[in-house]
Amino acid sequence: MVQTYGRPLRTRSEVAAFLTWMEDRGIAPQTRLGVLSTFRRVNPEQGAFTGHRIRIPSRSVFDDILTRAEVSKILEHLKINEDWYYPIFFLWLSTGLRNSEIIGLTWDCIDWEQSECKITKSLKRREDSNVLRQWGETKNKKHRIVPLTTGVLKMLQEHQVLMQAMNLYQPYGLLFLTKRTRSNLYDALLERVWKRTLKSCGIKYRKLYSQRHTFLSHTLASGNSPADVAAIAGHRLDELLKTYAKPTGALKLVEWS
C-alpha cells in the first residue's frame, strides 16, 4: 500500500495525508489503524507516526450475521441474476470456508460418496497482485473435512454438468472460474458481485467474510457441539467461541411446564 501511495512519510503532515488517501480509497478504519500501528512498531523512534486519531465506528454484534430470511433472499437473487456466481456463494454460505479456501477448491476435494469436502490447500493472493494467486497451505496448516448437505451436493452436480458441457471441467481443476477470462476468482471480483447483490436485495452491506460468520454462528445456534463446529471451521475451540459465537436473532428460550 505504501508503494502504491509512492510518497514519503517523513513528517506528521505527510502521514496524515497518507491516512486521508487510504480513507478516500475506501480502506476500512480498522485497516488504517493496523497500518499506522505497524509503522509505529517497526520505527518506534519516528514521531511522525504518533498523534493521529482514527475513529473506529461502533458496531453491533449482529452486524456480521445475516438472518435466514436474508440468506434465502440473497441466494434467490443470485440464482436468477448472477447464475454464474450463484454456486460459489451457495457453497460459501453452506460451509463457511475462508476466502482463499473456496477460491482454491478443486474437484478432487469433493467426496461424493461420503458427502464431504476435503480442505487441504488454499489459493492465496500474491502480495504483488490483487488478481494473481499462488497455492499455499490452509491458515492453520492442517487438513480438515467439511460435511456437505444434500442440497449442496445437488448444486455441485449441476455445476459440474455445466462445466463439462462448456469444456471447463478438469478432475483436478478449480471448481469456480471467472465468467469472462475463465481464470481463478479473486476477492475484488467477488466483492463486486456480493455488493451489488446486497444492494439489489435491499440488505445492509456486510463484508464477504460475513458468509463465514453467518454459517458458523447459525450452525452453533442450531445446537451443534462447539467442538464439532470448531473442527469443520479449522479453529481452536476457544477461538471459535470468542469469534463466531455471536447472536443470530433466533434465540430459543427455555419454557417451563
Q: pTM score, two decimals?
A: 0.75
Residue 172 lies in a domain: yes
On whether the CB atoms of residues 123 and 109 are closer than 8 A, the answer is no
pLDDT in the model for residue 61: 47
Q: Quote the domain boundaries for residue 177.
A: 68-216
Judgement on whether residues 80 and 131 belong to the same structural domain of the protein? yes
What backbone torsions phi and psi does residue 68 show, to the nearest 5 degrees? -60, -40
Judgement on whether residues 207 and 122 belong to the same structural domain of the protein? yes
pLDDT at 31 over 90: no
Handedness of CA 199, 204, 205, 211 (dihedral sign): negative
Q: What is the CATH number of the domain that holds 148?
A: 1.10.443.10
Please give the grid coordinates belonging to residue 110.
469433493
Handedness of CA 124, 129, 131, 135 (dihedral sign): negative
Handedness of CA 212, 94, 179, 195 (dihedral sign): negative
Locus of grid cell 478432487: 108
Rounded mean pLDDT of 5-18? Answer: 92
Judgement on whether residues 125 and 178 belong to the same structural domain of the protein? yes
Judgement on whether residues 19 and 84 belong to the same structural domain of the protein? no
Q: Report how many domains make up the chain.
A: 2
Judgement on whether residues 117 and 178 belong to the same structural domain of the protein? yes
pLDDT digits (tens, 9 = 90+) for 230-248: 999 998 888 888 777 766 6
Residue 157 lies in a domain: yes
Residue 257 lies in a domain: no
Judgement on whether residues 125 and 28 belong to the same structural domain of the protein? no
